[in-house]
Amino acid sequence: MQRRSFLKFSLVVGSAIMMPLATYADELDIDTISFSQTQYNDNQAQTILIFMYGGASQLAGNITNLEEIEKHSQKSYYSYFRNITPTEHGCWQEAGGDIMEKLIQNGDMTLFRTCYSQVREDEGNKAHGVCTSQNQRGTFQENTGGVLTNLAAILQAHDIINEETLMPFVTMEGESYFYTDLTTPLPGYLKPVGINENLDNPYKRDVRRWFYYTDEEREEENYNRSDEEGGFDPELTYKMDRLAQKGNLEGKIKDAFDKRASLSRFLDEIASAPTPDLGEDAYHTDSFSKKLETAVKLLVKNPDTKAITIGTGGLGGWDDHNDAKNYPSRMEQLFNALNSAIAHLKAEGKEDTISIMVFGEFGRNVNLNAAYGWDHGNLQNLYVLGGKRYFNHQGVVGETILEDKGAVNRLFLKPKEGSYWFEPLSIAATLYKIYGIDNPEILTDAYSPISPLFS
């Protein structure tokens, strides 16, 4: 990505990521939220949130009902996909199942098969936009902040984050509802900073950076003005920048100027930091793997960063209404990257504090339709990796049964009676809990954190 394009993608530090339709949410009542400083200190949590836009099928992690599904499906799974091999825990081997088994057996991942929305089922709600908004806000309400906006406000109120905190929230996906602003927008330093997988540096001035360094920094770097090539006259640029600063009010624009040089050097340090030798677990060369590698490097290097959000761009979308034949290969790529990320965290000694949560807006039903795809459903998998200091990994949680409503595209999985299941909003409650919030239900329509992770 070129610098000019990247600056369009990521507003400079202190600037807001513009939310869809410029929506704003009601104020957050901080006084009603119970915060445990001890729990926050003990966990030292950092999180990568991977959102699978489009609604990924849950079948990669759950083909336990496949024989029954095959009997009722409009089209044959075995004829279309040809290779559907169950693993020990009923994952789809050709769709990343072997890697899932490795992560489960090593105690690195919990696979939840019953993230199910009875509320949406009752309301007939399976729309992308609404479900994405609800999951990223952590509530069925419309006028609330995003999960990470709320978290930022709470951590600021308890002096965890302040103006000196370096990039507390980072987006590698652009705008999303995770960062929906409140009626009174948050201070600039709480807003997410946008980066890409190559850590192309939007803060670097290249031929003009010398003028932002102190005398000591210039001497330390042995910077030579004669090395500068091209661009506008650097002395004029320096004077114009300082003149512009005089006209800026206190706030995000002035912050951006003040912090630009230090952020430029910091991102350069991360970009040049080597990844440990991971052997057979080394990252693949696809863009999503590179994105996840960059996210891990950033969290390892910068404990100030609390959460990074990532879409699954580079793997293709997950709205598989038709021609779903490459679904298994996309899931294989996803879990290759996750396996490498866990190996990376272990090599850095960070698998206890850094966690990864993978989910989307919803899953799919299981009728393989006439176009050889699946339509929207209300049950999905949640994959939780790492964070061993605060998560008690359980392997596989939840059993499903097949529900057949006797109509085309009304063939779907739902939780088996007596099996543990949770509404998607519990994912947000879980996130709040690991950052020290004792009563996250107040933010998530009374839905509690995912209890097996803490048992």
59 domain-assigned? yes
Residue 8 confidence (pLDDT) above 50: no
Predicted confidence at residue 230, as pLDDT, reads 45
Task: Encode pLDDT of 228-285 as tens digits.
Answer: 444 445 566 556 566 655 655 555 555 555 566 667 778 888 888 899 999 999 999 9
Dihedral sign of CA atoms 351, 357, 358, 363 in order: positive
22 domain-assigned? no
Averaged pLDDT for residues 37-57: 98
> For the ranges 25-29, 184-188, 332-336, which has the lowest average pLDDT?
25-29
- For 169, residues 6+ apart whose C-beta sits below 8 A from its C-beta are 148, 152, 179, 190, 191, 192, 193, 305, 306, 307, 308
Predicted confidence at residue 18, as pLDDT, reads 33
> For the ranges 86-95, 209-218, 266-275, which has the lowest average pLDDT?
209-218
Predicted confidence at residue 266, as pLDDT, reads 81
324 domain-assigned? yes
Question: Edge to edge, what strands does the sheet with 396-397 contain?
Answer: 193-194, 169-171, 307-311, 46-51, 354-359, 379-386, 109-116, 396-397
Predicted confidence at residue 60, as pLDDT, reads 98
Predicted confidence at residue 321, as pLDDT, reads 97
Task: Encode pLDDT of 122-180 as tens digits.
Answer: 999 999 999 999 999 999 998 899 999 999 999 999 999 999 999 999 999 988 999 99
Predicted confidence at residue 197, as pLDDT, reads 87
Containing structural domain, residue 237: 3-17+36-454
Task: Encode pLDDT of 381-392 as tens digits.
Answer: 999 999 999 999
Whole-angstrom Cα distance, residue 357 to residue 121?
24
Which of the pair, 335 or 265, is modelled with greater confidence? 335
* Burial zone of 434 (CB within 10 Å; 0-12 exposed, 13-18 middle, 19+ buried): buried
- Tell me the pLDDT of the chain averaged across its residues: 86
Model pTM?
Answer: 0.86
Predicted confidence at residue 364, as pLDDT, reads 97
Residue 183 confidence (pLDDT) above 90: no
Residue 23 confidence (pLDDT) above 90: no
Instruction: Provide the CATH number for the domain around residue 53.
Output: 3.40.720
167 domain-assigned? yes
pLDDT over 90, % of the chain: 70
- For 113, residues 6+ apart whose C-beta sits below 8 A from its C-beta are 58, 61, 62, 381, 396, 397, 398, 399, 400
Whole-angstrom Cα distance, residue 448 to residue 389?
20
**Confidence class for position 13, pLDDT limits 50, 70, 90:** very low
Predicted confidence at residue 185, as pLDDT, reads 83
26 domain-assigned? no
> For the ranges 57-61, 185-189, 239-243, which has the lowest average pLDDT?
239-243
Predicted confidence at residue 92, as pLDDT, reads 98
216 domain-assigned? yes
**Confidence class for position 196, pLDDT limits 50, 70, 90:** confident
211 domain-assigned? yes
418 domain-assigned? yes
Task: Encode pLDDT of 409-422 as tens digits.
Answer: 789 999 999 999 99
Give residue 196's region: left, alpha or beta (phi > 0; psi -120 to 50). beta
Residue 205 confidence (pLDDT) above 70: no
Task: Encode pLDDT of 342-376 as tens digits.
Answer: 999 999 999 999 999 999 999 999 999 999 999 99
Which of the pair, 205 or 164, is modelled with greater confidence? 164
Which of the pair, 12 or 423, is modelled with greater confidence? 423
Number of domains in the chain: 1
**Confidence class for position 211, pLDDT limits 50, 70, 90:** very low
pLDDT over 70, % of the chain: 80
Which of the pair, 190 or 200, is modelled with greater confidence? 190
- For 293, residues 6+ apart whose C-beta sits below 8 A from its C-beta are 197, 275, 283, 340, 341, 344
Averaged pLDDT for residues 91-112: 98
